[in-house]
Structure 1
Amino acid sequence: MRIFLFLVLLLVSSDLMAQGLAEQIRKAHGDWSDVKFVEFTWTAQARGMSRTYVWDRTTGRVKATIGDTTVDIPATGAGLKETNEIEAHKAFINDSYWLLFEQFIFRDDVELVEGAGKIPGQESESKWLEVRYSSGGYTPGDTYRLYVNDKGVVFGWAYFPGGQKEPRFYMTREALQTQAGITFPTDFKQDSKTVIKLENVKIR
C-alpha cells in the first residue's frame, strides 16, 4: 500500500512539474487570448516552397494561399469536404505549429512530461517539456520535445513522429521577434543551416 501511494504521489508531483514548466513557457511567449489577427508566410528554404495565411480570429476564418490558389477555410477545419480545402487546412495546422506551438500545449488530448538531458548533437544539457498528442488531429501520436532556457523561452525542439524513440529532427528556434506581446521565432535551423523561415509576420 505504501509503495502504491508513493507511486501515486510521484506521478502527481511529475504532472505538477510539467504543468508548471508549461505555464512558464506560455508566460515567456505571451498570451494569445487577446490576439485577433495573424498573418504569416511559412517557407521551406531547401524546397523553395512558401505558403501564406491570413487568419481572422474574430471570425475563425483563414485565407490560405498555396501556389496560385487561395482558399477560405474555417480555422477548425469543421465541415470541409473539398480535397483542396482539406489539404489547405492540413498545411495551415502544420505551419501554425512553427509560429505558435506554445498555444497547442494546453489541449485535452495532450500529455505533458517534464525532464532534462543533453541537447541533441551537443554536450550541454537543458530542461525540456515533452508534448505528446495521444489522439486527434491529422497525426495522432506525434511527440515534440521543447528545450527551454531558464526564462521559459523555447530555444530548440525535437520531433518524434508517431511517438517513435528517436527524433526525426532537432532544430534551433532563432531570430525571435515580439509583436502585440507575443514572442515567436522566425528562423529554424538544423546543423546551423536555416531550414524553415517565418516571414511577413503580423500579429495584432
Structure 2
Amino acid sequence: MKNTFLILCVIAIISSCKKETPTGTDKETTTLSTAQRLANTAGLKSWNEVEEIKFSFNVGKSGKTVLTRNWTWNPKTNNVQLIALGDTINYKRHSKLDSLQISSDRAFINDVYWLIPEFKLVWDQGTTITEKKSQMAPISKDTLDMISILYNKEGGYTPGDAYDIYYDANHKFKEWAYRRGNDSTPSMITTFEKFETIAGFTFATDHRSPDGATSINFTDIEITKTK
C-alpha cells in the first residue's frame, strides 16, 4: 500500500459519519432489508440493552502498535470518555463541545465505525444503499455479495464518500473498500478478521491491509447490559 494508508485508515471512517440514530432496530417488517439482516447478524437487536461499552482501538504497523485509544461509551446518556497519550477527556455527545472535545468526538466516530460498521448501515441517515451479487472481493478475490453505502454531499466531515462492503453467505463482513468522494478507485481496502462474540454482539477484531503490514484491531472489549 502507499505510505498514505496509515493516515487513511485512521481518518477514513470519520469522513462519512452523518446523523446517527443508535436506537436498535426499527419495528420489524415481514421482509428485512439486506442492511438489516447484516446488522442483526452482528447483534443489533440487543443494542437497546447496552448500558456501557468499553474498547481499545489500536493501529499496528509492521508488527508494532503505533496508536491506541481507550474508550468508554454510554449510548443511552451519550457520555464518552477517551484515554489516550496519557490524557483523559470526558464529554457528552450532541452537546456543546470545546475544540479538544470536538477532536475527540471525531476520533470516537471513526473508531466506532470500525467496531460496528454493520450497525451504521441501519443507523446512518442521508445515505444511498445499493447491492450487487457475486462480486470479486478486492483482496481475497473470493466471489461475495456486495452492499455499498454512499453518503450524501451535505453534512458530515467530508461528505460524498462511499464504502463497498463484501459479505459472505452467513451475512458476515469479509472485506471493504473505502472510496473518497465516491471515486471509482478505492483509497483504502481492508479485511475483516478474528471475529469474537461478546455479550451477544459479534465483532471483527482485526482488519488488515492487502499486504498485511497495517492492522486496525480491537482489544479489551467489555459490554454492560441492562440488568
The TM-score, its normalising length taken from structure 2, stands at 0.76
Deviation at 1:44, TM superposition (A): 0.8
Q: Could you report, residue by residue, the CA deviation over 1:96-146 in whole angstroms, capped at 9, with x for unpaired residues? A: 101011121122211111113111144432111101111332221121111
Does residue 95 of structure 1 match 2:136?
no
Code of the residue aligned with 2:156 in structure 1: it is G
Deviation at 1:157, TM superposition (A): 1.0
1:26 aligned counterpart, secondary structure: helix
Does residue 199 of structure 1 match 2:215?
no
Give unpaired runs (5+ residues) of structure 1: 1-18
Deviation at 1:176, TM superposition (A): 0.5
- Structure 1 runs (4+) deviating above 4 angstroms are none
Work out whether residues 139 and 191 of structure 2, in 8 Å CA contact, stay in contact via their aligned partners in 1: no
Code of the residue aligned with 1:38 in structure 2: it is I
Q: Which has the higher relative contact order, 1 or 2, with Cα contacts under 8 A spaced 6 or more apart? A: 2
Partner of 2:84: 66
Map 1:78-157 → 2, pairs under 5 A: 78-80=95-97, 82-106=98-122, 107-116=124-133, 117-134=135-152, 135-157=154-176
Deviation at 1:192, TM superposition (A): 5.5
Work out whether residues 66 and 88 of structure 1, in 8 Å CA contact, stay in contact via their aligned partners in 2: no
CA distance in 2, matches of 1:164, 1:35: 36
Q: Could you report, residue by residue, the CA deviation over 1:2-22 in whole angstroms, capped at 9, with x for unpaired residues? A: xxxxxxxxxxxxxxxxx7211
Taking every aligned residue pair, what percent have the same amino acid on both sides?
27
Code of the residue aligned with 2:197 in structure 1: it is T
Which has the larger share of helix? 1
When the two structures are aligned, how many residues end up with a matched partner? 184
Partner of 1:162: 181
Map 1:162-201 → 2, pairs under 5 A: 162-191=181-210, 193=212, 194-201=214-221
CA distance in 2, matches of 1:144, 1:57: 25
Code of the residue aligned with 1:83 in structure 2: it is S
Which structure: larger Rg? 1
The TM-score, its normalising length taken from structure 1, stands at 0.84
Q: What RMSD in Å do the two structures reach over aligned CA positions?
A: 1.6
Give unpaired runs (5+ residues) of structure 2: 1-31
